[in-house]
Amino acid sequence: MARYVFITGGVVSSLGKGLASAALGALLQARGFSVRLRKLDPYLNVDPGTMSPFEHGEVFVTDDGAETDLDLGHYERFTGVAARNTDSVSSGRVYSSVLEKERRGDYLGKTIQVVPHVTNEIKDFLAVGDDEVDFMLCEIGGTVGDIEGLPFFEAIRQFAHGRPRGECIFMHLTLLPYLAASGELKTKPTQHSVKELQSIGIAPDVLVCRSEHPIPDREREKIALFCNVRKEAVVAAYDLKSIYEAPLAYREQGLDQAVLDAFGISPAPQPSMGKWRDVQDRTLNTDGEVKVAIVGKYIQLEDAYKSIKEALTHGGMANRVRVKVEWVDAEVFDSEDAAPYLEGYDAILVPGGFGERGTEGKIKAAQFARERKVPYLGICLGMQMAVIEAARNVAGLTAAGSEEFDHEAGKKRFEPVVYHLKEWVQGNAKVQRKTDDDKGGTMRLGAYDAVLTEGSKVAEIYGGTAIEERHRHRYEVDIKYRKQLEECGLQFSGMSPDGRLPEIVEWKDHPWFIGVQFHPELKSKPFLPHPLFADFVRAAVDNSRLV
């Protein structure tokens, strides 16, 4: 059975619980242990799939088609362990399951309550797969004291109480603010956060204290005394130049040792950190810089494109260059010339998105990249906009557009080069959808196979003709325009195995212009950059040398 580490946070949100959890997972792996990471979110949405990126950042998608919190992206990038549907749960999902059981009569007429029915549902979720790994790391979203988080805190308290002693520990992240006026770190917020945690029956075994300044021994001893933890279990978390320094930084501060000591695992295998030293070296010691424009419409919140930004960083590591990402609002040049906004970049990336807002700017970005021979990577909607641009400006279909935009406007305005995907094959089953279906969980989600054309650029990049990538979309490029577009030079170089759904397009006479219907950024890792991003950054380096 797995040992459980429950990671909670206090004082303020965004302290870095997800990063600390991911780094701890990487450190335990470095010692030879197997791990799985999970996220428990208190919000009432069933999943983040219907949330605006401005609300919750990007939606991370798993191979088995779950729409999850972006922290699962951190978990995968740091551990290489593919997340599953069972690694993300929200209050909405828990309550939905409980109410379905109540409607079926599973509770035999009992009054349904938060305790025990909701907490039992959470505990059942926690126990899934606990015989598969050595350590299960479970992060609780929000902060201690949040009213919506109380069922989760009560559930993990009960879960730990019901397991044999020594199988569960609690790790709590807090803030140590620095007051410049007095020139000292203040420990009271941490003390109050721990007191709040203790009031609901949970005593932390390890404290991770986020601080901008070194923690003197005196303050560390004070925290240990008043929070009832060992001094060695008070771990400092300092600001870093790169998140990929976190495993080495936490190793230096003794986080993994504090966790192993809390479990009584002694002696423990020594960690092998060579992989992370190489990642740190490639991050901090670069041979140059390239500028990449991300042309999107959620640019006010960088977390909306979190995996893309990280995948570009990984591509930079593969080429030993720093990728300077600059955010360009697609709406700014919806009705203007794109050139003044896009000149000077070594490459252009147009990411996914939903709705018509900003799409004319994205189409102009694709046109600029095609005509100026600037490396271009279009992802999901970014591929669709590249196809519409080709249809309008090269193939003569001047009214080309997407059925999505007509649905949004409530009237027909475009020749639908991109249409609503009504059916597709998933495994051995046919999936069907209608335009008026519920929005949540109804897209083409998760990992699907694709077949690449022999001799194409993407086949060269991938080093083969069979790939599997993750999808999240409900609109698709219409195959009936394939011949017309290919005659103009836009090659459909990747297709679904049944040949019905376009997966990749590329311009044959362009140095590097590729659009993909899937989301390659979701599978990129610092120690294993995705081949598309690695080659895209290489093309940006080549282009920068031509300028």
* Token pair 């409900």: residue: 474
What CA–CA distance (Å, rounded) separates 530 from 522? 9
Active site residue 132: no
Active site residue 488: no
* CA 113 and chain centroid, separation: 33
3-state secondary structure of 211: strand
What tokens appear for 189 in the block? 């917020």
DSSP H helices in 425-474: 457-462
What CA–CA distance (Å, rounded) separates 270 from 257? 10
DSSP code string of 215-241: --HHHHHHHHHHHT--GGGEEEEE--S
Helix H or strand E segment including 444 = strand 444-452
What CA–CA distance (Å, rounded) separates 101 from 81? 31
Query: Using CB atoms within 10 A of its CB, is residue 291 exposed (0-12), middle (13-18) or buried (19+)?
Result: middle
What is residue 271's DSSP assignment?
A: P
Beta strands in 248-334 (DSSP E): 289-296, 322-329
Task: State the first-to-last Cα distance of the chain, in angstroms, to the nearest integer.
Answer: 58
Cβ atoms of residues 445 and 472 within 8 Å: yes
Backbone angles phi, psi at 18, to 5 degrees: -60, -45
Q: Residues 117, 314, 473, 519: which is the catalytic one?
A: 519
Active site residue 209: no
What tokens appear for 52 in the block? 């605006």
Backbone angles phi, psi at 156, to 5 degrees: -70, -30
User: What does each C-alpha distance from 536 to 46, 316, 329 come to in angstroms?
Assistant: 36, 9, 21
What CA–CA distance (Å, rounded) separates 198 from 429? 50
Q: Residues 117, 360, 521, 530: which is the catalytic one?
A: 521
Q: Residues 380, 471, 510, 530: which is the catalytic one?
A: 380
State the catalytic residues.
380, 519, 521
